[in-house]
Amino acid sequence: MGYEDYGFPDGKRYNSFVGYFKRKYGERLQKIVLDAGFTCPNRDGKVGRGGCTYCDNAAFHPSYSTAGKSLHQQLDEGIEFHKVRYRTTEHYLAYFQSFSNTYASLERLKTLYEEALRHPDVVGLVIGTRPDCVDEQKMDYLAELARGNVLKDWTRSLSDGRERTAPIIIVEYGIESCYDQTLVRINRGHDFETARVAVQMTADRGLDVGVHFILGLPGETRQMMLDSCKLINALPIRSVKFHQLQIVKGTRMEKEYAEHPQDFERFSLEDYLDFFVDMLERLRPDLFIERFVGEVPPRFVNETPWGLIRNVELLRLLEKRLQERDSWQGKRL
């Protein structure tokens, strides 16, 4: 059995997320990153202080996404920003990304989510959060929202002529690691079982679930990261994002790395490409790979060991390496 038997999109050797929205909804949808003024329970003292040791949120969101602006203003500016590159895009997903975007009362969440959905160019929500910031009531609300039972008069006409009477709802969980000792070390404030329960709770309601992991966290060997594929495969998820660890200036992890560099697996670009092919071979083939690397603006890091190579070139190099090794997603399964 070869990669052709899996029907990966565009003849690729892995289940690429690129083009997923167009295939499913008939048109390209662009995410607009929003900062709705949330915080996290490992920042405000509920489970900890200082946040995750690797995190500087400013390194991960664009300039138009600022908590001082209204959601409508952020959406307008984000749409204008993306129209320069994606001129044919007609509809957008409001991406609640900054910090933990379910960490508030249900009433506040309803106000924010429904405000974003009232923007005429928005057809759905992507909600980034932590697994310890959800509960049955919040998931019930999102499920009803996705079924069209909340915003009764809400409609959007997509470019293929289809009419949507319910918004697209996607929940993304930052899990970061499958190992509890790692989660303690990076000050996450939750364990992997909490993540597993939250993902299951979300999937049980028919909502699309994505998850996020960081490769290269302190204390984790390459074999540990490869072994985590079994746990990831067991989650009822639609997509996964992987980022290589990047040491951001001013974070507690920058200090930890300076003091204990031997605790970190650091990858050259060539190493990482080979290692990620090893990961892909162990991941179930129906799992969409939404991202396999991360890009932090150079001003936030002390070094850029891979140079200033862009994501599109990294995707090309990944496909090339898969061809060279005659490999594909799920090959070892």
* The pLDDT of residue 254: 96
- Dmax (CA) for the chain in angstroms is 58
* The pLDDT of residue 88: 85
* The pLDDT of residue 47: 96
* The pLDDT of residue 62: 73
56: confidence class by pLDDT, cuts 50, 70, 90: confident
Mean pLDDT of 275-285: 98
- Flag whether 23 is in a domain: yes
- Flag whether 224 is in a domain: yes
Mean pLDDT of 64-84: 90
Residues ≥6 apart with Cβ < 8 Å to 306 = 268, 269
- Flag whether 333 is in a domain: no
Range of 163's domain? 3-324
- Flag whether 331 is in a domain: no
Query: Is 63's pLDDT higher than 80?
Result: no
59: confidence class by pLDDT, cuts 50, 70, 90: low
Query: Is 57's pLDDT higher than 80?
Result: no
- Flag whether 230 is in a domain: yes
Sheet containing 239-244, strands listed edge to edge, beginning at the edge strand earlier in sequence = 29-34, 91-96, 122-129, 168-176, 208-215, 239-244, 288-291
What gap in Å lies between CA 211 and CA 203, rounded to an integer?
12
Query: Is 227's pLDDT higher than 90?
Result: yes
* The pLDDT of residue 66: 81
Query: Which CATH number does the domain housing residue 277 bear?
Result: 3.20.20
In one-letter notation, the amino acid at residue 80 is E
- Flag whether 156 is in a domain: yes
* The pLDDT of residue 304: 83
What gap in Å lies between CA 163 and CA 25, rounded to an integer?
11
* The pLDDT of residue 302: 84
HEC per residue, the chain: CCHHHHCCHHHCCCCECCCHHHHHHCCCEEEEEECCCCCCCCCECCCCECCCCCCCHHHHCCCCCCCCCCHHHHHHHHHHHHHCCCCCCCEEEEEECCCCCCCCCHHHHHHHHHHHHCCCCEEEEEEEECHHHCCHHHHHHHHHHHCCCCCCCCCEECCCCCEECCCEEEEEEEEECCCHHHHHHCCCCCCHHHHHHHHHHHHCCCCEEEEEEEECCCCCCHHHHHHHHHHHHCCCCCEEEEEECCCECCCHHHHHHHHCHHHCCCCCHHHHHHHHHHHHHHCCCCCEEEECCCCCCHHHECCCCCCCCCHHHHHHHHHHHHHHCCCCCCCCC
Structural contact between residues 311 and 242, judged by C-beta atoms closer than 8 angstroms: no
Tally of domains in the chain: 1
Mean pLDDT of 76-94: 92
* The pLDDT of residue 159: 78
- Flag whether 329 is in a domain: no
What gap in Å lies between CA 197 and CA 321, rounded to an integer?
36
pLDDT digits (tens, 9 = 90+) for 154-172: 999 987 778 999 999 999 9
Predicted TM-score (pTM) of the model is 0.95
Mean pLDDT of 19-46: 94
Query: Is 60's pLDDT higher than 70?
Result: no
- Flag whether 330 is in a domain: no
